[in-house]
A and B are shown apart, each in its own frame.
Chain A
Amino acid sequence: MAESLLKAVDIYKSFVGVEALKNVTFAIEPGEIHCLAGENGSGKSTLIKIISGVYAPDSGHMEFGGKSFNKITPIEAIKNGIQVIYQDFSIFPNLTVMENLAFNSELADRRKLVNWKRMRKIAEEAIAKIDFKVELDAIVGNLTVAEKQMIAISRALMFNTKLIIMDEPTTALTKREVRNLFNIILKLKERGIAILFVSHKLNEVFEISENFTILRSGELVATGTTADLDAEKFTYYMTGREFKRNYFTPVNVSEKPIFEVQDIGIEGRFSNISFSVHKGEIVGITGLLDSGRSELALSMFGIRPIETGQILVKGEPVKINSPTKAIEHKIGYVPDDRLSEGLFLSQSIGDNIVISEIDRLAKNWGILDQQKRSDEIAHWVKELAIATPNPDNLCQTLSGGNQQRVVLAKWLACNLEILVLNGPTVGVDIGSKHDIHGILQALAKEGLGLIIISDDLPEVLENCSRILVMKAGHIVADMKANEADEKTILSYML
């Protein structure tokens, strides 16, 4: 049998009493595409940092091409052909492409002076390796995410690299860019370079990887060939729970719609959009990133007011030109980027929950009723099962799934009738995703009208009663969820 490129044996690591990795053993063969999956806090990043020499393991050892190490330094890791591409790509946004590409090898050669001609040559060679075309004098901060990633990959290839570790490389990419990335990964494989691909996105794991390793709370729960894996097993390994798909069936749908849009449009973004939402219904809107779906979501909440057409709430035409107006008409909005748009991360969980209804918690003279405030907070923490020992803790101490629950709680506290959700489970782990879906379905059954905007097709199919597909600013299909499948939706989307 051929020798493994990298073998990690019985790796154990704890941080101040918390066990991050419990005797994990795994191996990567040359030229293999290996997927490392696991939920937040499962020990994925700790394992990567041990392999790349950032952390030293408490016990266990590693083998590179037959040589055994108890621990290695980052420099030794690079010398053994290991390169990590972090999520931020480790780039310098203020400098040129050329410098970004050449710095690492110049520093590795311990150069003291800068030779711009030599740097240009190094940079040209680096991008030629993956046939990447880019202007070397461009400032990296002005490039797209995908281009920045290509820079990070070309840079990683400059050191006789045998293994590239990519930490969630597809997070901010469009579908086409992901495809392009996968093509490059396959080309690297042909050259015998192994890829360790960290991801928790099911479809990507199946599409690109040959082998997989799944971690859960610091333990290796499964490893093997991806061909033997299916979606249910994957989810089970990741979470340790079995999920049944709960297809949503609307009950108590109102006769009259509570929310309608007629022929609405914004110049250059979308036009002639009409649909209606009844009480108890969940309407899904899907489409590619540039289909206008996000702009549509923002316009329903008044952030980007519509230019043509009209919006009707309970049959009455209303003007929604600001979020304040939208809230007046009992419309709530859960943004896709909850970190920058939906939450005050550095404020307490409790304050985040009551922020939208703060006026109702005031006594005379606008003084806050503390008793009412803490009752309200306690109610929502319990209702949505937000996992926190103390609601006075800062919001940033919560996991993605729990943060999303706080956003939901904030809106539910306002007694809404219509809730628009843009990518409700983006960046949320599988367990929480399942719970959030449960909450949404329960809300619809209680009589809310929900609009989910998402490109996660299984999510749309599972939770919506009706699905609208957007393409280039228009609705191209309107179907019942139980008559639709992923293939048909995709054929409309593309």
Chain B
Amino acid sequence: MNTKARSMLKKLTRRNEPYIFLVLLALCLLIEIRSGQFFSSNNLVDIASAMVVPGLLAIGAFMVIVSGGIDVSFPALASLSVYATTKFLLDINYEGGVWVAILIAIAIGAVLGAFNGLFIGYFRLPALIVTLGSSSVFKGVMQGALNSKQLTTIPVGMRTWGTSSLFIARNPVSGLTSRMPVAFIAFIVVLALAYFMFRFTMFGRGIYAIGGSEASAHRAGFRVIRTKFMMYIMVGMIASLAGVIRVCMMQQMHPTNMLGMEMNIIAGVVLGGTAITGGRGTLLGCMLGTLLIVIVENSLILLGIPTSWKSVFTGALIIIGTGVSAYQVIRMNRTRSVKIKARRVA
């Protein structure tokens, strides 16, 4: 039993998630000690609500990175599909529920994702180049063809959904209240589906396999091109869902508001132990990494640090976090070569 526990512990220290978890815990405790407000019910609900959009985007980014690719176009993709949807619904004076908006946005997202998937999958172009390009194209279509400007009102269905809540948390000391948005359920559902896909479908294992070795995946019988194509469609759909949720929660459509989010999202994914070279990483780690970034972005104010310093802290966190992952890899390689040496001598 003891040896079993020890080998469990050894396995744990080799993984990235425990370290991220400890850093997260330390940060939370630090904020709690300084402000006494971190573990208050309304702050926790605030963080959960702030996690919805980045969490969804991170699931998409995680998928792409595990496959050995990269996507920097998802904020532009989401902006375009949501802007088109909102504008269209306003123009026809749509007054029904939010689900139409969600369905239209997801459909447009699928088409735009297919655009990425076509070039990356079927034409085998490098993912970074394609998504840098498509990011510009999406932005250009939105600003040029659709002549985008800020929409201060959004359709009534989106508006009411954005303010509806599962429950309201109230801080007994300060009297502040926070709403848990209904959209949190959407996040949990997508997360659960993604977990199931990665763990229990050949499609999901295929994404890992492609990230490990594309040539091997092809020879083993995975349909590499189709898997990539489908995956970029899924990423487009998830990003668009995140976009709709964001617009609903903000109660207005600001076309350029999401642009530039890609860096922090990708940083969160990598921070959570996902190898930027593909093939390695877990959804749990990805979520922990994203949560860490979300907390730093939202709670530094509780530490008395001015928000203008926020990007310095996020940046430092990324460097330290990825540094730890890199050190882990070095350590693993070292123990490996020692092990092999020992075996040769034996």
Q: Which of A110-162 contact B (CB under 8 A)?
A: 111-114, 142, 144
A113-B220 in contact given A90-B213, A94-B280, A103-B209 (Cβ < 8 Å): no
Contact B202 A290 (CB under 8 A): no
* Bound-complex Cα distance A103 to B207 (A): 13
Q: How far is the CA of A106 from the CA of B222 in the complex (A)?
A: 10
Distance of A104 Cα from B345 Cα, bound (Å)? 34
A-side contacts of B221, CB under 8 Å: 103-104, 107-108
- The segment out of B83-91, B129-137, B237-245, B335-343 that lies at the interface is B335-343
Give the CA-CA distance A99 to B217 in the complex, in Å. Answer: 12
Across-interface contacts of A86 in B (CB, < 8 A): 219
Q: Give the size of the chain B interface in residues (CB under 8 angstroms).
A: 30
Does B188 sit within 8 A of A, measured CB to CB?
no
Question: How far does the alpha carbon of A174 sit from the alpha carbon of B346 in the complex, in Å?
Answer: 14
Knowing A93-B279, A104-B220, say if A290 contacts B213 (CB, 8 Å).
no
B199 cross-chain contacts in A, Cβ below 8 A: 114
A92, CB-defined interface residue at 8 Å:
yes
Task: Identify which of B204, B213, B278 gathers the most chain A CB atoms within 10 Å of its CB.
Answer: B213
Chain B CB within 10 Å — which of A93, A95, A99, A111 has the most?
A95
Q: Is the CB of B201 within 8 A of A113?
A: yes
Does A88 lie at the interface of the complex (its beta carbon under 8 Å from any beta carbon of B)?
yes
Q: Is B200 an interface residue (CB 8 A)?
A: yes
How far is the CB of B10 from the nearest CB of chain A, in Å? 13
Closest to A137 in B: B11
Contacts of A103 in B (CB 8 A): 205, 209, 220-222
Please tell me if A312 contacts chain B, counting CB pairs below 8 Å. no
Q: List A contacts of B232 (CB < 8 A).
A: none
Taking CB atoms, residues of chain A closer than 8 Å to B202 are: 106-107, 111-114
Instruction: Tell me if B208 counts as interface (CB < 8 A to partner A).
Output: yes
**Is B213 in contact with A114, judged by CB distance below 8 angstroms?**
no
Contact: B211 with A94, CB < 8 Å? yes
A91 touches B216 (CB 8 A): yes
Whether A94 pairs with B208 at a CB distance below 8 angstroms is yes
**Distance between Cα atoms of A108 and B202 in the complex (Å):** 12
Provided the pairs A103-B220, A144-B340 are in contact, do residues A93 and B332 lie with their beta carbons within 8 angstroms? no
Residues of B within 8 A of A289 (CB): 344
B332: which of A106, A107, A111, A142 is its contact (CB, 8 Å)? Answer: A142
Separation in Å of the A265 CB from the closest CB of chain B? 18
A contacts with B, residue count (CB < 8 A): 23
Q: How far is the CA of A144 from the CA of B219 in the complex (A)?
A: 22
Contact B211 A99 (CB under 8 A): no
| Contact between A112 and B345, CB atoms less than 8 A apart | no
Restricting to B207-256, which residues have a CB under 8 Å from any CB of A? 208-209, 211-213, 215-217, 219-222
Q: Which of B275, B336, B344 has the most CB of A within 10 A?
A: B344
A103 to B212, CA, bound (A): 13
Q: Tell me whether A94 and B212 are in contact in the complex, defined as CB-CB below 8 angstroms, given that A103-B205, A114-B200 are known contacts.
A: yes
Give bound CA distance, A108 to B208, whole Å. 18
B217 to chain A, nearest CB (A): 7
Closest to A290 in B: B344
Assess whether A144 is in contact with B343, with CB atoms less than 8 Å apart.
yes
**In the assembled complex, how far is the CB of residue A484 from the closest CB belonging to chain B, in whole angstroms?**
26
Whether the Cβ atoms of B212 and A95 lie closer than 8 Å is yes
| Closest Cβ neighbor of A99 among chain B residues | B205
* B-contacting residues, A166-186, CB 8 Å: 174
Q: Which residues of A contact B200 (CB under 8 A)?
A: 113-114
Say how far B251's CB is from chain A's closest CB, in angstroms: 41
Bound: A104/B216 CA distance, A: 10
Cα distance, A335 to B221, chains bound together (Å): 38
The CA of A298 and the CA of B278, in the complex, are separated in Å by: 34
**Which residues of A, 23-51, contact B by the 8 Å Cβ criterion?**
none
Interchain CA distance A174-B211 in the complex, whole Å: 29
Q: Which of B112-159 contact A (CB under 8 A)?
A: none
Residue with the greatest number of chain A CB neighbours at <10 A, chosen from B201, B217, B220, B343 = B220
Contact of A88 among B208, B215, B336, B344 (CB under 8 A): B215
Interface residues of A in 458-477 (CB under 8 A from B): none
Within 8 A of A (CB), among B165-218: 199-205, 208-209, 211-213, 215-217
Please name all residues of chain A whose beta carbon is closer than 8 Å to the beta carbon of B212 when the two chains form the complex. Answer: 92-95
A119: min CB distance to chain B, Å: 9
- On whether the beta carbons of B279 and A92 are closer than 8 Å, the reply is yes
Instruction: Determine the distance from Cα of A108 to Cα of B221 in the docked complex, in whole angstroms.
Output: 7
Query: How many whole Å from A214's CB to the nearest CB in chain B?
Result: 27
Chain A hits for B344, CB < 8 A: 174, 289-290
Q: In the assembly, what is the distance between CA of A249 and CA of B51, in Å?
A: 77
Roughly how many angstroms separate A90 CA and B203 CA in the complex, as a whole number?
A: 19
Chain A residues with Cβ under 8 A from B345's Cβ?
Answer: 290
Q: What are 28 A-B interface contacts by the 8 Å CB criterion?
A: A86-B219, A90-B213, A90-B220, A92-B213, A93-B212, A93-B213, A94-B208, A94-B211, A94-B212, A94-B275, A94-B279, A95-B205, A95-B279, A99-B205, A99-B209, A103-B209, A103-B222, A104-B220, A104-B221, A107-B220, A107-B222, A113-B200, A113-B201, A114-B200, A114-B202, A289-B344, A290-B341, A290-B345
Smallest CB-CB A-B distances: 10 pairs: A94-B279, A92-B212, A107-B221, A94-B212, A90-B216, A90-B219, A114-B200, A103-B220, A94-B280, A104-B220
